[in-house]
Amino acid sequence: MRRALLAAFAVVLGCRPSRNEGAFRLRIAVVGPLTAVGPTDEPSASGYAQEWVFDPVLRTASDGSAISGLASRFRFLNSAQVVVELREGARFSDGSPVTTEDVRKSLHESRLEVREQSNGLLIESPSGAAVEPILRHDPIYRRIGNSYFGSGPFRVVSLDPEHLLLRRVVPAPGKIDEVLFLGFPTPRDPFARTLAGDADLLIVSDPKQLEFFQGVARLRIIRGHGANAIAVGMGLHRLSRAARSAIAAALPVANISRLVFGDECPPFPGGGDAKTAIPSKALDLTVIRNDLPLERTALAVARALGPLAREIRFIPVSDVFPLLKGQDFDLVMLRPLVWPPSSAALVWASDSPFNFLGYSNPHVDAALKAGDWARALQALRDDPPVVFICTPERLAVVDSRVKNPQVGPYGYLETLPDWEVVE
């Protein structure tokens, strides 16, 4: 009798639903190899997961304003100082609480200082740089050995070059429980596997590529405003301020945008007059190989410049940063971050680690430190390092079972933890 009862008990236990039964796993097809998700690791498609594993102090609302991230409350004293209250009970995925020391270490590389006060944490930039864009951008983490732990809704479960599995730290019924990144060797494979039904989400970089997904009932197309612009970068060492200003004044932005994208990419306001004289020698144009929109932009710029344009030079992606650092170019086609407006502080501030062009303009710096983004942009226009052409939309295709997918206002897929799924 006792044995029978034990057997029945074992059967009942065996029949209990497992933790993952009915869990919704979203498979994302990307180009690999996949790398560790962390604040300082090399860039790869794993970077899309960073926003779900790590919380920044502040996040970005759809209108571009700063909203609560890890900080439940925040109050700017000035553009370089903010007092924040961390979210009550905030913990890393290993269960340990988020401390002031964690925030301090996480923001150290961005040269921000963190001090405890009676009303919260005072975060400030000793150099007077605007802290808001940094607090939106920098993740708060704790490093233990080679592992990074975040306080975001997901944690990394497993990783190899072809697979990255993330699972929600605290189950949320009706939402995505697991995300599995599938890394493929070529850009063609993520498309093929998504079409074949082996993946549920695909980032689409070119509107033309959506052609493949027309009529695919299993997938829906989502669009959102872009954060990166198509722009023509100008060599700061080779071109004088006068030459850069003349080029910016000469390039017909709206025409170039229309030639390259048709009506798909809203052009930046203003634009130049192709008849403006440019005090410069003939210009070479550099573009990343196989980035068709940038390639067509280069062609359109060359046409606008007329005889002043020399040959178009194609370079691989890996050569872009050395090229920018060496300033070995006249004109280069780029995709700089332009949204939200405060991101200008990341890209154009003299002391920003993300100022890849090495641009330095005291007027811009002063405006950025003052948090006056409009003034900073005007100062940029007066001494232009780039000519902004237009901001293409962000595109993705997502499984139709996801009810409210949307491209994130700042990070491409940062809203994914809030997506609801059909149960």
Partner 1 sequence: MNDGSSRDAMARNLLVLVAGSGLLIALVGLSAIALLRRSAERSAQAALAVIAEQAAGRIGAYLSQQREMLHAVAGLVTGIPEAERRLVQVALDAPSLGRVTLLTARTAADRLPPHLAPADVVAALAGREVASPLYFREDLTPVMDVCVPAGAAPGTAVCATLDLLELQRQVQRIRIGKSGFALAFDSDGRLLAAGAPTLRAAVLTGEPIAESPLASKVARGEPAPAEFRGGLGEDVLAGWARLSEPRWTVVVEEPTREALAAMRNALIALSAVAVAALLFTVALGAAQSRRVLDALEIEERWRTAGRIATGISHDLGHRLAILQSTAALAEANDPAYLPLIRDNLRAEMTTLKKFVGDFADLSREVSPDQFLPLDLNAFAQSVGRAMVAHAEKAGVQIAVVPAADPPWVKGDRYLLERATLNLLSNAIEASPPGGEVSIEVSQQDGVAKLKVTDRGPGIAQERLPRIFDAFKSTKRTGAHVGMGLPNVHRIVTAHGGQTAVESELGKGSTFSIVLPIQPKPT
- Which stretches of the chain bind partner 1, using CB under 8 A? 187-189, 191-193, 195-197, 205-206, 208-209, 211-218, 259, 290-292, 295-296, 299-300, 302-303, 312
Least distance (Å) between residue 215 CB and partner 1: 6
Q: Which is nearer to partner 1, 214 or 318 (CB)?
A: 214
Least distance (Å) between residue 293 CB and partner 1: 9
Least distance (Å) between residue 44 CB and partner 1: 18
Q: Which is nearer to partner 1, 261 or 412 (CB)?
A: 261
Q: How many angstroms separate the CA atoms of 158 and 277, rounded?
A: 58
Least distance (Å) between residue 299 CB and partner 1: 5
Tokens standing for 72?
């439940």
Q: Which is nearer to partner 1, 176 or 219 (CB)?
A: 219
Q: Which is nearer to partner 1, 23 or 292 (CB)?
A: 292
Q: Which amino acid is at 382?
A: D
Q: How many angstroms separate the CA atoms of 105 and 2, rounded?
A: 59
Q: Which is nearer to partner 1, 172 or 292 (CB)?
A: 292
Burial group, residue 306, by CB count within 10 angstroms (0-12, 13-18, 19+):
exposed
Least distance (Å) between residue 24 CB and partner 1: 22
Q: How many angstroms separate the CA atoms of 79 and 370, rounded?
A: 6
Least distance (Å) between residue 33 CB and partner 1: 18
Q: Which is nearer to partner 1, 146 or 214 (CB)?
A: 214
